[in-house]
């Protein structure tokens, strides 16, 4: 393959995860480390470069690679649960690899044999892929101004991207742009390529350390073999959108679990009972107990629904037809809706049950609500209800795009 040569600094050998159980155990081990400093990272907006290096070295970023290319091709249910484990520890760290895994799925779906062999190999070696997709000032979020045009044996890329999650930490800037036929392509640009400017200007009140800043492409050259025809993945039934979305659902589930755990700890150890409750401990308040049960049940339902949706996506990857892809899409949509709602509910209920003392700035418990509110804006849940209703009522097949 004629992909651009990238100089990689010698690093410790990347672990090769051998099974889904090992993937989950590795995620739990890393999560325990990440959780210990997550609140401080958020408060200080300290970007998790070291933590992302640990994630790469662990082998977790390669678990979705197909077996024929050296990966273990884990179930999408496991991929989502690994994401949830990491996001429970630190919502930002849980989100950063989402684009990496989306890119791997797009490569699996539409990359050439040579592209798959090369870039899957780079992921197995610990390389990270960041996503330069979203733009501002376009007619809708689905329109793009960034262009890729022919230049001899390769292409030139010009444009500006915003919300470039993962690019600051990436070895490859994966840019989505329109070619001369107005078709969407996905181009792998090595970090440090001349003409690429990465600006750390993300100032959202939540997911503060995702590094989702601006990426500018000024006449950037990319080799033709590093350009994937991404539009093909939405001209036929594929699982690209479902894989991307089930990971987003895992992020929200993790944030919800984190908020719920904080609620339990605070109510048990710090909260005072309401004066009319007739109990000595806040944890014995029957209304508090009921509300905790409500959140616990919804978390259990969200977990089960993600697992169910993951199996549907697995089936659609094995036998990719209109019918199997629609089944997967609808199941993932349901999971994404429920995890969105439980993340917002759990992170708000934390303060309702914990009481006024829980809002102290030094505790930084509000990061869970801020993370939930910010991440759940990724795409509108109200349109997911519409997609499901329109299918069942009118037989309208869900649109083919990365948000479904």
pLDDT digits (tens, 9 = 90+) for 322-366: 999 999 999 999 999 999 999 999 999 999 999 999 999 999 999
In whole angstroms, give the CA distance from residue 3 to residue 16. Answer: 24
Same structural domain, 180 and 322:
no
Same structural domain, 345 and 212:
no
Same structural domain, 148 and 297:
no
Q: What would the DSSP string read from start to end of 147-166?
A: EEEEETTEEEEEEEEEEETT
The residue among 73, 95, 128 that closes a domain is 128
Task: Dump pLDDT digits (tens) for 280-300.
Answer: 999 999 999 999 999 999 999
Return the residue matching tokens 């679990």: 257
The total number of structural domains in the chain stands at 3
Range of the domain at 187: 132-230
CATH of the domain at 317: 1.20.140.10
Same structural domain, 82 and 24:
yes
Same structural domain, 242 and 213:
no
Same structural domain, 179 and 41:
no
Same structural domain, 226 and 251:
no
pLDDT given at position 140: 81
177 is written with which tokens?
Answer: 């742009």
Return the residue matching tokens 């904080």: 262
Same structural domain, 325 and 304:
yes
Residue 293 lies in a domain: yes
In whole angstroms, give the CA distance from residue 51 to residue 29. Answer: 12
Instruction: Kindly report the pTM of this predicted structure.
Output: 0.95
Residue 243 lies in a domain: yes
Work out the percent of the chain whose per-residue pLDDT is above 90: 94
pLDDT given at position 138: 83
Same structural domain, 149 and 254:
no
Which residues 6+ apart lie within 8 Å of 140 measured at CB?
Answer: none
Residue 251 lies in a domain: yes
The residue among 170, 201, 230 that closes a domain is 230
319 pLDDT band, cuts 50/70/90, is very high
Of 20, 28, 130, whose CA–CA distance to 64 is shortest? 20
The residue among 85, 107, 128 that closes a domain is 128
Same structural domain, 86 and 175:
no
> What integer is the mean pLDDT of 39-49?
98
Same structural domain, 29 and 60:
yes
Task: Dump pLDDT digits (tens) for 225-264.
Answer: 999 999 999 999 999 999 999 999 999 999 999 999 999 9
In whole angstroms, give the CA distance from residue 253 to residue 84. Answer: 6
Same structural domain, 98 and 83:
yes
11 pLDDT band, cuts 50/70/90, is low
Task: Dump pLDDT digits (tens) for 129-188.
Answer: 999 999 988 888 778 999 999 999 999 999 999 999 999 999 999 999 999 999 999 999
CATH of the domain at 152: 2.40.110.10
Task: Dump pLDDT digits (tens) for 220-230.
Answer: 999 999 999 99
Distance of CA 66 to the CA centre of its chain: 19
């Amino acid at each position: 393959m004629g992909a651009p040569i990238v100089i990689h600094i010698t690093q410790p050998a990347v672990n090769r995860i051998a099974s889904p159980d090992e993937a989950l155990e590795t995620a739990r081990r890393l999560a325990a480390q990440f959780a210990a400093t997550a609140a401080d990272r958020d408060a200080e907006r300290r970007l998790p470069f070291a933590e992302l290096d640990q994630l790469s070295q662990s082998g977790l970023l390669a678990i979705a690679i197909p077996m024929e290319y050296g990966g273990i091709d884990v179930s999408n249910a496991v991929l989502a649960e690994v994401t949830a484990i990491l996001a429970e520890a630190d919502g930002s760290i849980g989100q950063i690899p989402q684009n990496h895994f989306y890119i791997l799925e797009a490569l699996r779906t539409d990359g050439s044999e040579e592209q798959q062999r090369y870039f899957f190999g780079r992921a197995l070696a610990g390389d990270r892929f960041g996503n330069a997709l979203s733009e501002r000032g376009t007619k809708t979020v689905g329109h793009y101004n960034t262009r890729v045009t022919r230049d001899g044996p390769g292409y030139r890329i010009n444009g500006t991207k915003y919300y470039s999650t993962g690019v600051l930490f990436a070895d490859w800037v994966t840019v989505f742009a329109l070619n001369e036929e107005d078709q969407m392509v996905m181009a792998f640009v090595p970090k440090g390529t001349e003409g690429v400017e990465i600006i750390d200007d993300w100032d959202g009140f939540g997911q503060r350390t995702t590094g989702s800043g601006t990426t500018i492409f000024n006449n950037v050259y990319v080799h033709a073999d590093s350009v994937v025809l991404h539009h093909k993945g939405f001209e036929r039934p594929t699982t690209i959108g479902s894989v991307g979305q089930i990971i987003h659902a895992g992020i929200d589930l993790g944030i919800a679990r984190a908020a719920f755990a904080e609620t339990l700890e605070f109510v048990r150890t710090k909260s005072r009972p309401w004066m009319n409750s007739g109990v000595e401990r806040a944890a014995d308040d029957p209304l508090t107990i009921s509300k905790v049960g409500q959140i616990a049940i919804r978390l259990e339902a969200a977990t089960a629904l993600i697992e169910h949706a993951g199996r549907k996506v697995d089936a659609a990857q094995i036998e990719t037809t209109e019918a199997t892809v629609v089944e997967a899409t609808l199941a993932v949509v349901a999971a994404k809706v429920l995890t969105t709602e439980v993340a917002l509910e759990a992170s708000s209920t934390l303060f309702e049950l914990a009481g006024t003392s829980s809002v102290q700035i030094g505790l930084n418990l509000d990061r869970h609500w801020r993370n939930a509110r910010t991440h759940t804006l990724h795409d509108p849940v109200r349109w997911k209800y519409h997609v499901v209703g329109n299918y069942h009522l009118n037989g309208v097949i869900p649109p083919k795009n990365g948000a479904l």
